[in-house]
Chain A
């Protein structure tokens, strides 16, 4: 079945440590996104990519980095510069970013600080 796979499901970060969240899709979608979800708040866009080897900052990119070396993969690194990383992270994809297409979401990664 086609879909988006996020791993790990749970991740713990020590102070000063960088951690990487994995996102893989087999939907052949061009566009991929990373959202952050905090309790009682709407999803906020961290980074998005419309095509391989290209990505743009979203609303809350500080303290995060991404890469898009393959169409299927869009990993997110939470750096030590992100002082409040505890949140639920969601990866999503759509056929194309410029069209009015629905987003398909992965099952999420819960990141917590030790």
Chain B
């Protein structure tokens, strides 16, 4: 069964304290892995797509990496405005309909 698990469920950081969020996945094959940011009461906002192991993408203080079993979202010197829930989703090769499998999310709080 295709599955996505994110850890930790919640993370509290001080401003400037770098850390990583994990997304572990079990799929028969991977078309792509997506990272989204979601603010309270709003819809998810797209951050990155990763397609193959070894791929990396960066945007400001965020860097996403991908291996054959997991993806990491590295946050370097975070600021309070980085506080949000980060969602990971995979598009398995078993799906030809665009259906994504989402993890439960990691809620990040960055304190000044």
- The CA-CA distance from A6 to B36 in the complex, in Å, is 19
B: interface residue count bin: 20 to 34
Docked-complex contact A42 and B98, CB < 8 angstroms: no
**Contact flags A101-114 to B (C-beta < 8 A → 1, else 0):** 11111111010000
Q: Are A101 and B103 in contact (CB under 8 A)?
A: no
Question: Whole-angstrom distance from the CB of A69 to the nearest CB of chain B?
Answer: 20
Q: Is the CB of B102 within 8 A of A94?
A: no
A105 to B44, CA, bound (A): 6
A36 to chain B, nearest CB (A): 11
CA distance A6 to B31 in the complex (A): 29
Query: Once A and B bind, how many residue pairs between them come within 8 Å at the CB atom?
Result: 67
B42 near A94: Cβ-Cβ < 8 Å: no
Complex A-B: 29 CB contacts under 8 Å: A4-B43, A6-B43, A31-B98, A35-B102, A41-B104, A42-B87, A42-B103, A43-B100, A44-B102, A45-B99, A45-B100, A50-B97, A58-B99, A92-B43, A94-B98, A98-B97, A100-B31, A100-B49, A102-B46, A103-B34, A103-B44, A103-B46, A103-B98, A103-B100, A104-B46, A105-B36, A105-B43, A105-B45, A108-B41
